Structures are given as structure tokens and as C-alpha cells.
Structure 1
Amino acid sequence: MQKVLAVLFAGFIAAGAVHAAEPVRTAPQSYVGVGVSSVDYVGAATKASPKVFTGYQIKPQLALEAGAVDLKNGYGMYIAVKPSLPLSEKLSAYGKVGVGQTRRQPLPAAPTPLGKKNDTGAYGAFGLQYSISPNAAVTLEVERLPREKPSALKPNVWTLALQFLF
């Protein structure tokens, strides 16, 4: 899974760089993004993990989005509705509401309840997006991944990402 995410990450960066300078098209638009997420486990250090996502802007302030993040011993994925609110010409706030799933391998030293492999449930996020060009933006968000208690995975994930509109 890590190799697949690394290849997608490199491809999105290359494609995004090519399209970032193109003129803006009117809505609807598609977008892709790559990012770095913080993944925390109980009793372990925070680790940086790759994240990829794609979306479709139905209106300037409403999009549908799907994404995946590497959890180091598994992965998380989601599909969500993403409404946004412009705060200035280049800065906007947004939220995401949807459904997500985490899949992970049991941690070797964890008791059986902490080794649950699949969790499906509500997914949510909120963040800020800053447009660096007409077709590129930087986002900072906090996501809430689905998980059952007790779990070795901490539910909140911080992500810094680049987003490219097409």
C-alpha cells in the first residue's frame, strides 16, 4: 500500500505542477491532492504518512471528495460532501461529512481488542484552504477517522496538502 501511495503522490505532484498555471475554468471542476498526515497510535510516536484525494466541485462552495491515507500498518479511506465558506479572496474554511473506513493489521504487542482490523463509520473533517494560484491551493485540516473503542489508533489526523484543480 505504501508503494502505491508513493507512486500516486509523485504522479499527482507532476500533473498538478503542469496544470497549476492553466487558466481557471468555470465550475464544475475536478481536483486531486497529495498531502502528509500525522498518524498517532497509543504508546507510539507520531508518524508522517502520505495521503491522496480527489474531488469534484459541483458548485464553487460544494464538492464531493474521496481519499485515502496510509496508517503505517493499514490504511484509511473516506467519501464525503465538502461545503466551503470563503473568508477572503484566497482563503476559505471548509468541512467534510461522510463515511470512512480504517483497515489495519493488529499491532504485535497489543492485546486482542486493540487489534481489530476494520472500522466503518462516520467521517468528518474541517480545515482551511489557501489558493496559491488559480488552479492550486494549500490545505490544512484535521480529520476524524472512524474507529471502535478500545483502539490503538488515535482518531484525529492532521493533514497538510496540495490541491490541484483541473
Structure 2
Amino acid sequence: MKKTMFAVLAGMLAMGAAQAQTLSTNAADTAPHFYMGTGIGVVKDSVSGDRDRTWKIFGGYEFDQNWGLEAGYSHLGKTGFYVPGTTDYTAAHIKSSSVYAAAKYKYALSERTSVYGKLGLSHGEYRYSSSAPGWNFKESNNGVYAAVGVDAKLTERVSLYAEYERNGKRAWNGPENRIFGAGVKFGF
């Protein structure tokens, strides 16, 4: 999986560098604007070690070419395990999600490609459900949200991104809080 992610990052950087040679700088890059986006990712299940798909939606505001604020929702997937102490090995299921708000700093490598970092707060929710008594409950926690990534512009308002995120604290049982993801972002 790591090799695939690095290949995607390298391809995006190469694409952005090639496009930057033919395009001129636009004043829209420095003008404040809103953006929104969506993405998919991969998260590791701490119980089984399997990799699950995730998805996220987010929105933000860029004050200038470097600084912005972003907030988003990530669906971290669904996993399961067998409830200890039951004779029939009843399965319990965990549905996980996270919301975050973060400051974002972006540094341009070329006219079309930039790298960024995000730092903020995250709130995670984990819903446990099972037919076993006492295994239907919700757990939540707060923690630090951090991400690093690369952004490659396709047009002045549409770009592709790839990033590594860390969403707060991990639940005692369920998806890990590290996500590799990629998606598309639309500016307004």
C-alpha cells in the first residue's frame, strides 16, 4: 500500500511540474476563497490487521496563498470482533467516524503543485453494537488532528490531493487513527 501511495504522490508531483511550465501565475491563487472536497482512503483495522476503505468530506477557507482553515468529516469504516465471555462467540461491530477543524499552511513547489500541513483538533465517535448484553454503547474522544499532503492543480479551481492524516486518539478496539487518502478539491 505504501508503494502505491508514493507512486500516486510522485505522479501528481510530475503532472503538476509539467503543467507549471506552460501556465502563467493567476491572481486567483492569492485571492481569499472557499473550497470543498471529497476523498477516499485506507485505514488499518487494529483487531484483524485488515485494511478498510474510508471516505471523507471537507470544506475550508483560504485567506491567501499560504494560510487557511479547514473542517471535515471522516467515516473510518466498520469492523468487528468476537465478544469475550460469550459461549457462542457473538460478534460485535464497531462503526467509527471523526470530525476535525484545523489550521492549514500551504507551500507552493511550482505554479501547479504545493505541499501542505494541517494541525487542529479531532473528535472521534465509536459505536459498538452486538446481540450480547452490555455491548451496545458509544465511546468518544478528543485529540490532536494532523495531516501532511500534496496538492496538484488541474485547473485554477479544481485540484487533486494525496495526504496522510492522524485523527486524534484511537479507540481501544477498532480502526487505527492513521489514514492514507486521496481525492479532489473544488474552489469557489
Q: Same fold (TM over 0.5)?
A: yes
Aligned equivalents of 1:107, 1:97: Cα separation in 2:
32
Larger Rg belongs to: 2
Which shifted more, 149-158 or 53-62? 149-158
For 2:149, the aligned partner's letter is G
Equivalent residue for 1:30?
Answer: 34
Residues matched between the structures, number: 140
Query: Root-mean-square deviation (CA), in Å?
Result: 2.3
**Residue of structure 2 equivalent to 1:163:** 185
Alignment TM-score, normalising by the size of structure 1: 0.76
Segments of 5+ residues of structure 2 without an aligned counterpart are 1-25, 78-94
Contact kept in structure 1, 2:120 and 2:144, CA below 8 Å: yes
**Runs of 4+ with deviation above 3 angstroms:** 23-26, 148-151
Aligned to 1:71: 76
- Report the alpha carbon displacement of residue 24 of structure 1 after superposing the two structures with TM: 7.3
Give 2:105's aligned residue: 83
Give yes or no for contact 2:35–2:185 (8 Å, CA) kept in 1.
yes
1:77-100 residue CA offsets vs partner (Å, 9 max, x unmatched): 100000011111111010000000
TM-score by length of 2: 0.68
- Name structure 1 gaps, 5 residues minimum: 1-22
CA separation in 2, counterparts of 1:141 and 1:91? 14
Would the aligned equivalents of 2:158 and 2:185 in 1 still touch at CA under 8 Å? yes
Identity of aligned residues (%): 27
Check conservation: 1:55, 1:65, Cα contact below 8 A: yes
Instruction: Tell me, yes or no, if the aligned pair for 2:170 and 2:176 is still in contact at 8 Å.
Output: no
Q: Is the 8 A contact 2:58 2:71 kept in 1?
A: yes
1:149 deviation in Å?
Answer: 6.6
